[in-house]
Structure 1
C-alpha cells in the first residue's frame, strides 16, 4: 500500500511551539485561547445542528459531539461569518472605487494538516454550520485530492511512494481552478478522486457554481512555491485563500489515529473486492499493524515533517487537538 493511509513508532511532539514564539523573544504572531476562553466567544450563536446530523458529520474514527460543536465550531463559525461580511463590504467598496460591478466572488476557506488529523471532519462541520447563516447560504466543499496526478502518471514519474507530497499534485491545474474561482467565473470544474479506487476518476468532474463560500481541504494548500530569483510573480495556492485553518496535534497522537483508521478501514471499506486496498483486509492483524506503521514512518510522517508542518504558521487559525480529537486550544493570528 502506497501513499496516504498512516502509523509509526516515532515519538515526537510538535504542538508545544505552535504559538510561533521566536527563540529567546516573547513575541508571538498568535493570540492563544484555552478551550474555555475560545468557547466563550460563541456569544449568543445558536446551535443549528441536530443530533442525527452530527452522526453524519463524524469521521471514520472521530465522533462529533454536541460539546465540540458548541465550544469549538460555533465560535469559529461566528468568526468566519464576520470575516465573510467584512470581505463582502471590501469587494463592494473596491467595485465602487473602480466604477464597475464585479461578479460574485466566493470567500475561500482552507483547511490544512496531516493525514488522519481530522481535516475532512472539520471541513464538513464548517460547511454545515456556515450554510445556516442567512448572509451566505451557499457553501461548497471540495478536497485537493482530485488534483493529484493519476496513478499512471505518478508511476511514470516514479512518485507513487510520494503520493500526497507537493510534487505529486498537478499544482498548475489547481492554480487555474482557484484563479477562476476568485475571478468570479460562473462554472468551474474540478477532477474527482476516489479513495475507494485510490485514483483520480477519468472523465469525471464536479462543478462549482459561484457559492458564497468555498471550503477547500488538503495536505499542502499552505505550501509556498519556490521563489524565482528574478522577482517575477509566482502564485501560491494560499494566495487564493481568504482564511486558512491548520489542524494540529502531537505526532504520537496522530500516529494513534492513523493506525486506528487503518484498522477500521481494513474491517470495512477494504473488504470490498473492488477496493484498491482489498489485500490488506485479508492479512493478519499484526501484519496489518506493521504495514500501517511502515506507511506512516516512511511516507506520511516524512510528508508531515518536511512539507505540511512547516506551513502551520501561515494559517490564520491553528486548532490544537488532544486525545479523542478534542480541541484543547485555539491560536488566532493577530498580525
Structure 2
C-alpha cells in the first residue's frame, strides 16, 4: 500500500518535516490521492502528523488573469504565482514551531482563497500536489530541490478528460465551452506536465489504491 511507503518518509525525530510532491496532468487524481495519503498517515500515526497543501492556492486571481489577458489559459504555468508557492515550501521547511497558513482554491468561486489551509506545528509530513512540480520552467525548477520525493501520477487521457468535462460543466461552462477549453488549454497543460515526468522518482497509476 502506498500509505506504508509514505509513512516511511515521516521523520522519526521530533521537529523534522518531510515534503512529498505529486505531479501530473490536470485531473489525473493528484488531489484525491494526496488527501487519501494524508488521511492514511494520520489514521496510523495520529491526527495532524501529515498535512495537505495543494499548488492550486497559487492560481492568479481572475482579476489578474484578465489584466494579463490570460483568462483563457487559466491553469497554464504562467497563470500561477510560482514564486509564492516556492516561498511557502521554504517556510514549511524552515518553520516548525508554529502553524503555517497556506492559500486554498474554491472551485465554486473559481478563485484562490487566502489562508484557507493550515499546516500545524505537529505535522512531520506535508503532501503537496500540482501540475508543474516537475517542470523545468523559470521558478518551477526550484520546486524539486525543496521536496524529499516527487512522484508522478499517471492517468489515461480519456479518463482525465471525462473528469475535466464534468468539472468545467459543473463550474458553469456549457458543454461546448468546456470541450473547447479542454482542447485549447487543458491538453497543452497536460503535455507540459507530462514533460516533467522524467524528473520524478516514481510513477503511480491513478488506479492504484492508497
TM-score by length of 1: 0.56
The one of 159, 183, 198 aligned to 1:297: 183
2:179 is the counterpart of 1:179: no
Change (3 A) 1:237 1:115: same
2:63 is the counterpart of 1:152: yes
8 Å Cα contact 1:105/1:184 also seen in 2: no
Match of 2:37 in 1: 126
Match of 2:25 in 1: 114
Deviation (angstroms), 1:195: 1.0
Between the aligned partners of 1:252 and 1:205, the Cα distance in structure 2 is 32
- 1:83-102 to structure 2, matched below 5 A, reads 83-85=9-11, 88=12
- 3-state DSSP class of the match of 1:104? coil
Deviation (angstroms), 1:260: 4.1
Change (3 A) 1:235 1:247: closer
Match of 1:216 in 2: 128
Deviation (angstroms), 1:182: 0.8
Between the aligned partners of 1:225 and 1:258, the Cα distance in structure 2 is 24
Task: List alignment gaps of at least 5 residues for structure 1.
Answer: 1-74, 93-102, 228-233, 271-276, 281-287, 329-335
Match of 1:60 in 2: none
Match of 2:104 in 1: 192
Deviation (angstroms), 1:243: 1.8
Match of 2:143 in 1: 237
Runs of 4+, deviation exceeding 6 Å: none
Between the aligned partners of 1:261 and 1:155, the Cα distance in structure 2 is 21
Between the aligned partners of 1:136 and 1:316, the Cα distance in structure 2 is 28
Match of 2:162 in 1: 256
8 Å Cα contact 1:225/1:236 also seen in 2: no
2:5 is the counterpart of 1:79: yes
TM-score by length of 2: 0.85
Between the aligned partners of 2:31 and 2:37, the Cα distance in structure 1 is 10
The one of 282, 290, 314 aligned to 2:199: 314
Change (3 A) 1:226 1:193: closer
Select the structure of larger CA radius of gyration. 1
| Deviation by residue 1:230-270 (Cα, 9 ceiling, x = unmatched) | xxxx961121111222111232332233234445x2xxxx5
- 3-state DSSP class of the match of 2:164? helix
Task: List alignment gaps of at least 5 residues for structure 2.
Answer: none
Between the aligned partners of 1:260 and 1:129, the Cα distance in structure 2 is 27
| Deviation by residue 1:46-94 (Cα, 9 ceiling, x = unmatched) | xxxxxxxxxxxxxxxxxxxxxxxxxxxxx21112222335xx4xxx6xx
Deviation (angstroms), 1:106: 1.7
Between the aligned partners of 1:192 and 1:168, the Cα distance in structure 2 is 15
